[in-house]
Amino acid sequence: MKSPLLIACVLLLSNYLKAQEPPSPEFKNPPVVVEVLAGNNGYASQMTVNKSFRSFPKLGIFSVTNFSSRWSETNSKDMMNQIHLTYHFAKGFSVLAGTHYTPSSGLRPNTALMYSYSSKEFLVTLMPRIDLANNSNWEGFALVEYKPKLNEFWNLYTRAQGLYCATINSGDHARSYLMLRVGISSKEFRFGLGANWDAYGPARNTKANYGVFVAANVIN
């Protein structure tokens, strides 16, 4: 028969060791980011979702949806959507697999590699992507945010975001854009001035839009 004193000592030691364990960090997912630009030529919006699964944080979902329309249009087809399953395999690096959709090319399976660095003042994201389909495209995406603190309530907010997409077989230009933002932010909101330059097809037909933007981090 085991000694009651021995059992009591084991229980006390077990409780002591548990108390010494550091508390597990609270799991936090990035917010959904929604942005709207109203400009001289039309309207543009972007929604970004980057989430990890709580039970397996290395696995997650990444999705970006862009939409643009001239004020005179009633049925714009200028839309891109991509949704990926992500696997985080090293610090800052993830491999992605999913689908990419535009009205002109339809739904295509694709894969990508993403690098992301984040701090209080900087956010850098780089993502090369390639379609896994006939007449496939390759794409390069880059985003840089700089948001230094101005005072207790406000931060400067600046962003440069660019994309270049071309067909693999011919190398012809398919789609590209450059988005610039400069403004201020407080807590989950930011607003200011914005400019979008878009180019389409081998002829690089261009569209520009200058105006004001409003964005918010939607916590869920």
Q: CA–CA separation, 31 vs 188, rounded Å?
A: 9
Flag whether pLDDT at 9 surpasses 70: no
Residue 176: name the closest of 152, 206, 146, 154 by CA.
206
Flag whether pLDDT at 23 surpasses 80: no
- In a 3-state reduction of DSSP, which class is residue 17? helix
- Length of the chain in terms of residues written: 220
Flag whether pLDDT at 24 surpasses 50: no
User: What is residue 77's predicted lDDT score, i.e. its pLDDT?
Assistant: 87
57-96 tens-digit pLDDT: 999 999 999 999 999 888 888 999 999 999 999 999 999 9
Mean residue pLDDT across the chain: 89
Q: CA–CA separation, 189 vs 40, rounded Å?
A: 23
User: What is residue 76's predicted lDDT score, i.e. its pLDDT?
Assistant: 87
User: What is residue 12's predicted lDDT score, i.e. its pLDDT?
Assistant: 52
Structural domains of the chain, ranges and CATH numbers in brackets = 29-218 (2.40.160.40)
